[in-house]
A and B are shown apart, each in its own frame.
Chain A
Amino acid sequence: MASVIVSFELSGRPVEVMVAPLTTLQSVLRNQLGFTSVKDGCRQGGCGSCTVLVDGEPMMSCLLPVEDIAGRRVTTLEALTPPEGLHPIQQAFMDNNGYQCGYCTPGMEMLTKALLDHNPHPTRDQIVDALAGNVCRCTGYRPIIAAIEAAAAAGSAEGAL
Chain B
Amino acid sequence: MSTRSLAGTDGLHVVGQSVDRNDGVGHVTGRDIYSADRTFPGLLHLKIVRSPVHHARLRGVDLSEAQKVPGFVRALAAADVPHNVYTILGLIGVEPEEEFLLTPVGERVRYKGEPIIAIAAETEAAALDAVARVRLDLEELPAVFDVDEALAPGAPVVTHWGNNTFMYEGHVCRRVRYGDVEAGFAQADHIIEGEYRTSPIEHAPIETTGCIALPEPNGRFTVYTNTQALYFSLDNTSIILNVPGNRLRFIGGMVGGGFGGKVDVIVEPLATLAAMKTGRPVRYVYNRSDEMQVSSTRSPEIIRIKDGFMSDGRLVARKVTGLMDCGAYSRQTPYAVTKFAANAAGPYAIPNVWIDGYCVYTNRTPTSAMRGFGITMASFALEVQMDKISELTGVDPWTLRLRNAYRNGDIKPHRKVVDDATLIETIQAAAQLVGVELAPDLKALTSAPRDEAAHAAHAAAVAAGSALAAGTPAGREGAAR
Contact across chains for A105 and B205 when beta carbons are under 8 A apart: no
A15 at interface, CB cutoff 8 A: no
Closest beta carbon of chain B to A52's beta carbon, Å: 11
Known: A95-B3, A137-B257. A103 touches B205 (CB 8 A): yes
Q: Is B245 an interface residue (CB 8 A)?
A: no
Within 8 Å by CB of B23, from A39, A93, A102, lies A102
Whether B20 is near chain A, meaning CB under 8 Å from some CB there, is: yes
Whole-angstrom distance between the Cβ of A136 and the nearest chain B Cβ: 7
Number of interface residues of B (CB under 8 A): 34
The answer to whether residues A101 and B206 also contact, given A30-B37, A138-B257 and a CB cut-off of 8 A, is yes
Assess whether B29 is in contact with A41, with CB atoms less than 8 Å apart: no
Q: A39-B206, A101-B207, A137-B206 are in contact. Are A94 and B37 (CB under 8 A)?
A: no
- Taking CB atoms, residues of chain B closer than 8 Å to A99 are 24, 27-28
Checking A34, A41, A84, A95 against B206 with a beta-carbon cut-off of 8 angstroms, the contacting residue is: A41
Alpha-carbon distance A77/B32, docked complex (angstroms): 12
A 58-92 to B, binary, CB cutoff 8 A, 1 in contact else 0: 00000000000000000011100100111000110
A135:B206 contact, CB within 8 angstroms: yes
Residues 286-298 of chain B, each 1 if its beta carbon lies under 8 Å from chain A, else 0? 0110000000000
Whether B256 sits at the interface, judged by CB under 8 Å, is yes
Contacts of B205 in A (CB 8 A): 101, 103, 137
Complex: how many Å from CA A35 to CA B106? 46
Report yes or no: B206 in contact with A77, Cβ–Cβ below 8 A: no
Complex contacts, A44 vs chain B, CB 8 Å? 288
Question: A105–B257 contact, CB under 8 A?
Answer: no
Is the pair B3, A91 in contact by a Cβ cutoff of 8 Å? yes
Q: Does B255 contact A (CB under 8 A)?
A: yes
Q: Which of A36, A41, A43, A86 contacts B33 (CB 8 A)?
A: A36
Contact call A102/B288, Cβ cutoff below 8 A = no
Partner of A105, one of B1, B2, B20, B28: B28
Question: Hey, which chain A residues are within 8 Å of B206, CB to CB?
Answer: 39, 41, 47, 49, 101, 103-104, 135-137
> How many angstroms from the CA of A135 to the CA of B31 in the assembled complex?
20
Kindly list chain B residues whose C-beta atoms are within 8 Å of the C-beta of A46. 288
Which residues of B from 1 to 40 have beta carbons under 8 Å from A? 1-4, 20, 23-34, 36-37, 39
Contacts of A109 in B (CB 8 A): 28, 30
Known contacts A41-B207, A86-B1, A101-B205: does B30 contact A94 (CB below 8 Å)?
A: no
Question: Which residues on B sit within 8 Å (CB–CB) of A95?
Answer: 3-4
B335 contacts chain A at the CB level, 8 A cutoff: no
Residue pair A37, B20 in contact (C-beta under 8 Å)? no
Within 8 A of A (CB), among B194-212: 203-208
Given contacts A94-B24, A99-B28, A106-B30, contact A39 B3 (CB under 8 A): no
A77: which B residues are within 8 A, CB to CB?
A: 29-30
**CA of A95 to CA of B206 in the docked complex: distance in angstroms?**
22
Q: Which residues of B contact A30 (CB under 8 A)?
A: 37
Answer whether residue A42 sits at the interface, using C-beta atoms and an 8 A cutoff: yes
User: Which residue of chain B lies nearest to A38 when distances are taken between CB atoms in the complex?
Assistant: B30
CB distance from A132 to the nearest CB of B (A): 16
B204–A94 contact, CB under 8 A? no
In the bound complex, how far is the Cα of B206 from the Cα of A144, in angstroms? Answer: 16
Q: Which residue of A lies closest to B207 (CB)?
A: A103
Interface of A (DSSP majority class)? loop
Q: How far is the CB of B197 from chain A (nearest CB, A)?
A: 24
Q: Which residues of chain A are near B208, meaning CB under 8 Å?
A: 41
Contact present for A36 and B24 (CB under 8 Å)? no
- A40 within 8 A of partner (CB): yes
User: A42, A76, A84, A138: which contacts B288 (Cβ < 8 A)?
Assistant: A42
Point out the residues of chain B lying under 8 angstroms from A41, CB to CB: 206-208, 256, 288
| Contacts A41-B207, A137-B206 given; does A93 touch B37 at CB 8 Å | no
Query: Inside 8 A of A86's CB, which chain B residues have their CB?
Result: 1, 25, 28-29
Asked if residues A37 and B288 are in contact (CB atoms below 8 Å), the reply is no
Contact B204 A137 (CB under 8 A): yes
Residue B398 is within 8 A (CB to CB) of chain A in the complex: no
A105-B39 CB under 8 A given contacts A41-B206, A43-B287, A95-B3: no
Least distance between A72 CB and chain B CB atoms (Å): 21
A38 contacts across to B, CB distance below 8 A: 30
- Shortest C-beta distance, A99 to chain B (Å), equals 5
Does B259 belong to the interface (CB within 8 Å)? yes
Query: Are A101 and B288 in contact (CB-based, < 8 A)?
Result: no
Q: State whether A102 and B26 are in contact (beta carbons under 8 Å apart), knowing that A41-B208, A46-B288 are contacts in the complex.
A: yes
Closest chain B CB from A20 CB (angstroms):
9
Complexed CA–CA distance, A2 and B71 (Å) = 17
Task: Considering the complex, give the chain B residue whose CB is closest to the CB of A48.
Answer: B206
Q: In whole angstroms, what is the CA distance A17 to B260 when docked?
A: 39
State the Cβ distance, B283 to closest chain A Cβ, in Å: 11
One of A34, A37, A100, A104 near B29 (C-beta < 8 A): A37
CB distance from A79 to the nearest CB of B (A): 11
Tell me whether A103 and B288 are in contact (CB under 8 A).
no
Chain A proximity of B381: nearest CB distance (Å): 24
Q: CA–CA, A15 to B25, complex, Å?
A: 28
Please give me the residue from chain B that is nearest to A147 by CB atom: B28
Closest to B2 in A: A94
CB-CB contacts below 8 Å: B333-365 with A: none
Chain B positions within 8 Å of A37 at CB level = 29-31
B45 → chain A closest CB, angstroms:
11
Given A42-B288, A47-B206, A95-B3, A101 contacting B30 (CB threshold 8 A): no
Give 8 CB contacts A-B under 8 Å: A37-B29, A43-B287, A49-B206, A90-B29, A101-B256, A102-B26, A103-B206, A103-B257
Given contacts A77-B30, A95-B4, A137-B205, 5 further A-B contacts (CB under 8 A): A49-B207, A84-B1, A101-B27, A102-B26, A102-B32
Question: Which 10 residue pairs across A and B have the least CB separation, nearest first?
Answer: A37-B30, A102-B27, A103-B256, A36-B37, A106-B30, A42-B288, A90-B28, A77-B30, A41-B206, A103-B207
